[in-house]
Amino acid sequence: MLEKIKKFFSKEIKEIGDLKNLEQLRVKYLGRKSELTQILRSLKNFSIEKRRKIGPQAQKLKKEIEIILTKKLKELKAKNSKLKVDIDITRPGEKIKLGHIHPLTKIEEEIRQIFLSMNFSVVEGPEVENEHYNFDALNIPPNHPARDMWDTFWLKTQTNTDYTQIDTEGLYKSVSSQYKSMLLRTHTSPVQIRYMETHNPPFQIIVPGRVFRYEAIDASHEINFYQLEGLIVGENVSLANFKSVIEEFFRKLFGNKIEFRFRPSYFPFVEPGLEVDIKLGKDWLEIMGAGMVHRKVFDAVRYNPNEVRGIAFGVGIDRLAMIKYNIPDIRLFYNGDLRFIKQF
């Protein structure tokens, strides 16, 4: 009898596919009116011998059936919960939030691509610099009046006290030829020196990067902004090369409508020096300093000034972005207003 119950149960459980049928099966085999329950209940009417024989077997079968039913119950529940996730087409979709690329990142990438297409290599340098690379090697020795062109964030370092001191007028004064005062770079030009120290001409590079100046903020000046340095060094490099590179760069970045002009200027690390302005409405906006690399700069990196010539430029990336995207105030780039960023 028990064998028969076991056989039928084993067969039927295999065909169960949902919770309702499983419950019916449980009632059929373990319910009050089930054959097994009847057997267990009638044990008391059996002889002792029979009771001893059938009792444990019936209990064992009951346990087995319970275990199998529980296992099946778990299986069906797990299947059901998976099904719900997969097929609940009434659930509202989740909106995917897309980030935006900052306009300065966007224009920098575009500028990189333009110069890469003109065979320039992209180089980077440190934002925390020392006085030697930011000034001295660029022909701006201590106390040179041109240092005032770059209002500097100086950093307090231990080496400062070793090699520099504050003089009677409260000015920073170098007391050793090996001084190494640290600062936040005021322009990307120090990377010119770093690159030339470790590479031989001919080459043409650009250096995009963040720079810092301790100066008053207004619509076109920030204390933290971005520059792109350019440097071409070779045997027959001239200002004509500079003009053609810059013209092509502007045409690729702004299209043919842009109006710009070259104007004589002064930087200690070039001779001659010039600046480039772009026309904005009725006004001109200064965007770039440039010139022929000064002999003293070549001396500092141990190039022979009689053998090589170079042109260099430093352009404000923020100003280029202001022109390209028609942004009236540089501060918009840095105030973190998402309404502004989301337009790009």
Q: Note if 102 is an active site residue.
A: no
Say if strands 224-234 and 203-212 run parallel, antiparallel, or are unpaired: antiparallel
SS3 label, residue 286: strand
Give yes or no for residue 181 binding ligand YSA (CB under 6 A): no
The answer to whether the beta carbons of residues 309 and 236 sit under 8 Å apart is: yes
Does the annotation count 187 as an active-site position?
yes
Q: Is 318 in the site for ligand YSA (CB under 6 A)?
A: yes
To the nearest 10°, report the CA torsion of 264, 265, 267, 268. 70
Q: How far apart are CA 241 and CA 245, in angstroms?
A: 6
Q: Applying CB under 6 A, does 187 fall inside the site for ligand YSA?
A: yes
Q: Is 284 a catalytic residue?
A: no
296 forms beta bridges with none
Q: Can you read off the two tokens belonging to residue 46? A: 């059996």
Tell me the closest approach of the beta carbon of residue 341 to ligand YSA, in angstroms: 19
β-pair type (224-234, 309-316): antiparallel
SS3 category, 202: coil
DSSP-assigned letters across all residues of 259-271: -EEEEEE--TTEE
Q: Which of 58, 192, 207, 227 is catalytic?
A: 227
Given candidates 30, 286, 295, 341, which one binds ligand YSA under the rule CB under 6 A? 286
Query: β-strand 203-212 against 121-122: which pairing, if any?
Result: parallel
Residue 191 annotated to the active site: no
Is 154 annotated as catalytic?
no
- The binding track of 193-222 with respect to ligand YSA, each residue x by CB under 6 A or -, is --------------------x-x-----xx
- Least separation in angstroms between CB 285 and ligand YSA: 8
**CB 167 → ligand YSA: shortest distance, Å?**
26
Residue 125 lies near ligand YSA (rule: CB under 6 A) = no
Q: Which residues contact ligand YSA (rule: CB under 6 A)?
A: 187, 189, 213, 215, 221-222, 225, 227, 229, 267, 269-270, 286-291, 312-314, 316, 318-319, 330
Indicate which residues carry an active-site annotation.
Answer: 150, 187, 213, 227, 270, 312
